[in-house]
Structure 1
Amino acid sequence: MALQAEEAVRNGTAEGHGLVLAGVTKRFADFTAVDDLSLTVPAGSFFALLGPSGCGKTTTLRMVAGLEQPTSGTIGIGGRDVTALPPYRRQVNTVFQSYALFPHMSVLDNVAFGLKQRRVRDARAQAKAALAMVELEHLGARKPAQLSGGQQQRVALARALVNRPAVLLLDEPLGALDMKLRRQMQVELKAIQTEVGLTFIHVTHDQEEAMTMADTVAVMNQGRVEQMGPPRQLYELPRTAFVANFLGRSNLMRGRVAEDLGQGLGVDVAGTRVVLPKARATEHHGSVVVGVRPEKVRIQRMDAPFTATANQLAGTVVDASFTGVSTEYLVDIPGVGLMGTFSQNLGQDPASPGEKVRLLWEPDYSFGLAGGEDTGAGGVRP
């Protein structure tokens, strides 16, 4: 796959792709930051590189921008091999978390700066149009210090977009904003990307940010892509414990396949039979890890009626945390450990700490991972 992509980049036949990375590796002395990374990003799509600090996502972005040279592999932008090209010869612009605006220039002059450097005749007119796109045309005469953080971020975005790059790189662009403004900007940024039709490559460690905006998310870990796909697919059907834990939260239970049910598997988890679809499992024999998202799990008192076909485990409530919309319960399951579940606050608590309860979920909500997976990878279990 990497060889085919590399050949397409070198031959200039990768048209239709905003970005193609083929077998890209970056080593620093004895440390490998990016390890044999291959990605194909369709032109006009919103793509997110998601992962914790040190996973290689920012190094990847810097290589695309031309600020770092790959140790091996090729980089193609808009069907053109740019691996050896300097940054100024690549059709790329970057929006940083720090905004990097010129404090002595007006907002309009900041946006028009790149155009003027290239001696574009109608630089100011294009800059005004770019400010209008981010709804800041009326603030063109102000200096950056007179703007809010969200407004400065929009100016930085307008300055990048006005150059019409083939690829726009976003390096943690919303990290400096408060939560309410960050969520607002997530919606606006996606709307702008859809309107202009450019390829956006967004680097972030924020799972919600990636899932809110991106068409495709690549979850990175230790220089490699653990899993890549649409946000909903990654969330609903993670293929590794790292993805299951990093992209949200998961209850992960070790077990052993005890029965082949045709379309499903019967797994022995601490002496209790748990069922999951074969299509949602990476392994169909031997030891496995069964997972289920906390919001898919219902909590009931032991004397409440239940559906016999649902997966169920019994345990003791050890904690109940009120979060407003819901209450999070932690339940100690013998032989399994702590499992988490959320219960919507409808006026009556389904359980209290110290109480024996039953946790239930539908088999179709389960997913199965390889038995050798580290259940703590990518986050902390409840």
Structure 2
Amino acid sequence: MAVRTGGVRGAALEIDAVTKRFGAFVAVDDLTLDVPSGAFFALLGPSGCGKTTTLRMVAGLERPSAGTVSLAGRDVTHAPAHRRPVNTVFQSYALFPHLTVLENVAFGLRRRRARDVRARALEALELVELVHLAHRRPSQLSGGQQQRVALARAVVNRPALLLLDEPLGALDLKLRRQMQLELKRIQAEVGITFVHVTHDQEEAMTMADTVAVMNHGRIEQLGAPADLYEHPRTAFVANFLGQSNLVAGTVVETLDAGTTLGVDVAGVRVRVPAARTVAAGPRVLVGVRPEKIRLLGGTEDAAGGDNVLGPGTVVDTSFAGVSTQYQVAVDGLGTFGVFAQNVGGATVHPPGSRVHLAWAAPFTFALDGHEEVAAGTVDLDDEP
């Protein structure tokens, strides 16, 4: 799939028609992609989608079966890894246990016989706020501190491109979220192009300027995190990037001078903005995100212009801190997820409650009705 995010001029990374085969298996399929200089770019997808293979081809650890890879305008398709202006931060940190923190950061500079090694290594440690631990060994550091040392060691050489391969996967949830903000801050300060490979949707959306969602070796959709979330173009993206409720429907009319479509969903008319519809024919998948839906009890009415489905039965109610998450079995349509923000005073609907689902029509989107409703919902967790 050809995706031009910045054009050739000013691109730190250009992947042109790259395919990678392992025997009969196609890991990356005719991929074309530009990453602009200075960007924080994320390759997001489940295990086996081709994102790590793409990263390894950029790093020089794998050779493409076809196509070219260019860095800073130079073709490096056949260049060995050590001759590429690229550094990689791995999930495993890969620090030298017998060296101090300062010596770990300075290691690459010393190998290249760079000048002002100590000063530059201390500057990199200051960037990750670890100067006070310069003389400790890696075994004396926490997981988050080790990750920051690995990052300092990578950026101290000022590569044209920094590759991050699931760098936060070994950290616990709270520390991972803190490190997401730290990585974003560091990237903004140093201005190096970051390409971040992850299967974690929150990680990609929190840090990256641009996200490419990969599936079966191809890019399903690329764009700013908010645009991908609000305007998914495939069922895979709608389900993999967050959660979506998708249900089959048929376009039966055009309303409001062509700006709105009327869609029949199991005998109920649902309004969908034409601008949020990617289907070419009458058969569609109508979608809405769980946090956009309100639950209406027996005495509550929908607002004018709302889409309403139901009735349904609450089958599960889970308190999740900032929200209460519901699973609602809607008669004849299946189970819908609903997230209700906990703002105080809101009605809690226990399991067994009969409710209707309501949401503002502009929040609705429609995808190609020939797609699988469950595409993108399987989480295979870690890369093999």
TM-score bin, normalised by smaller chain: over 0.9
- 1:351 is displaced (CA, Å) by 2.3
Q: CA RMSD in A?
A: 1.7
Equivalent of residue 286 in structure 2, options 273, 279, 290: 290
Equivalent of residue 136 in structure 1, options 122, 130, 136: 130
- 1:308 is displaced (CA, Å) by 3.2
Question: Is there any run of 5+ residues in structure 2 with no aligned partner, and where?
Answer: 380-384
Between stretches 220-229 and 301-310, larger displacement belongs to 301-310
Between stretches 288-297 and 347-356, larger displacement belongs to 347-356
Matched, 1:17 2:17: no
Equivalent of residue 71 in structure 1, options 65, 70, 79: 65
Q: Distance in 2 between matches of 1:324 and 1:131?
A: 36
User: Does the aligned pair in 2 maintain the 1:310–1:363 contact within 8 Å?
Assistant: yes
In structure 1, the residue matched to 2:332 is: 335
- 1:284 is displaced (CA, Å) by 5.0
**Helix, strand or coil for the counterpart of 1:27?**
strand
Q: Deviations over 1:227-253 (max 9, x none)?
A: 000000000111011111110000001
Matched, 1:246 2:240: yes
TM-score (norm 2): 0.94
In structure 2, the residue matched to 1:354 is: 352
Q: Distance in 2 between matches of 1:25 and 1:285?
A: 32
Between stretches 353-362 and 198-207, larger displacement belongs to 353-362
Between stretches 69-78 and 345-354, larger displacement belongs to 345-354
User: Does the aligned pair in 2 maintain the 1:207–1:248 contact within 8 Å?
Assistant: yes
- 1:347 is displaced (CA, Å) by 4.1
In structure 2, the residue matched to 1:50 is: 44
Between stretches 347-356 and 160-169, larger displacement belongs to 347-356
Equivalent of residue 113 in structure 1, options 92, 107, 117: 107
Amino acid at match of 1:320: T
Question: Is there any run of 5+ residues in structure 1 with no aligned partner, and where?
Answer: none
Equivalent of residue 321 in structure 1, options 301, 318, 321: 318
Equivalent of residue 175 in structure 1, options 169, 176, 187: 169
Q: Distance in 1 between matches of 2:351 and 2:101?
A: 56
Amino acid at match of 2:45: G
- 1:73 is displaced (CA, Å) by 0.6
Q: Distance in 2 between matches of 1:370 and 1:15?
A: 35
User: Does the aligned pair in 2 maintain the 1:47–1:214 contact within 8 Å?
Assistant: yes
Q: Distance in 2 between matches of 1:234 and 1:124?
A: 43
In structure 2, the residue matched to 1:59 is: 53
Equivalent of residue 252 in structure 2, options 255, 258, 264: 258
Q: Distance in 1 between matches of 2:184 and 2:296?
A: 40
Between stretches 117-126 and 210-219, larger displacement belongs to 117-126
In structure 1, the residue matched to 2:221 is: 227
- 1:323 is displaced (CA, Å) by 1.7
Q: Distance in 2 between matches of 1:121 and 1:241?
A: 53
Equivalent of residue 29 in structure 1, options 9, 19, 23: 23
**Helix, strand or coil for the counterpart of 1:274?**
strand
Matched, 1:41 2:35: yes
User: Does the aligned pair in 1 maintain the 2:284–2:368 contact within 8 Å?
Assistant: yes
Q: Deviations over 1:166-223 (max 9, x none)?
A: 0000000011111111111100100110111110000000000000000000001111
Between stretches 309-318 and 323-332, larger displacement belongs to 323-332
Between stretches 328-337 and 192-201, larger displacement belongs to 328-337
Between stretches 322-331 and 183-192, larger displacement belongs to 322-331
- 1:303 is displaced (CA, Å) by 2.0
- 1:378 is displaced (CA, Å) by 0.6
User: Does the aligned pair in 1 maintain the 2:211–2:223 contact within 8 Å?
Assistant: yes
Paired residues, number? 374
TM-score (norm 1): 0.95
**Helix, strand or coil for the counterpart of 1:256?**
strand
User: Does the aligned pair in 1 maintain the 2:18–2:29 contact within 8 Å?
Assistant: yes
Q: Distance in 1 between matches of 2:348 and 2:117?
A: 63
Q: Distance in 1 between matches of 2:57 and 2:296?
A: 52
Equivalent of residue 197 in structure 1, options 191, 204, 213: 191
Between stretches 349-358 and 311-320, larger displacement belongs to 349-358
- 1:356 is displaced (CA, Å) by 1.7
**Helix, strand or coil for the counterpart of 1:153?**
helix
Identical columns (%): 64
- 1:380 is displaced (CA, Å) by 5.8
Q: Distance in 2 between matches of 1:221 and 1:251?
A: 20
Between stretches 336-345 and 88-97, larger displacement belongs to 336-345
Q: Distance in 1 between matches of 2:373 and 2:117?
A: 55
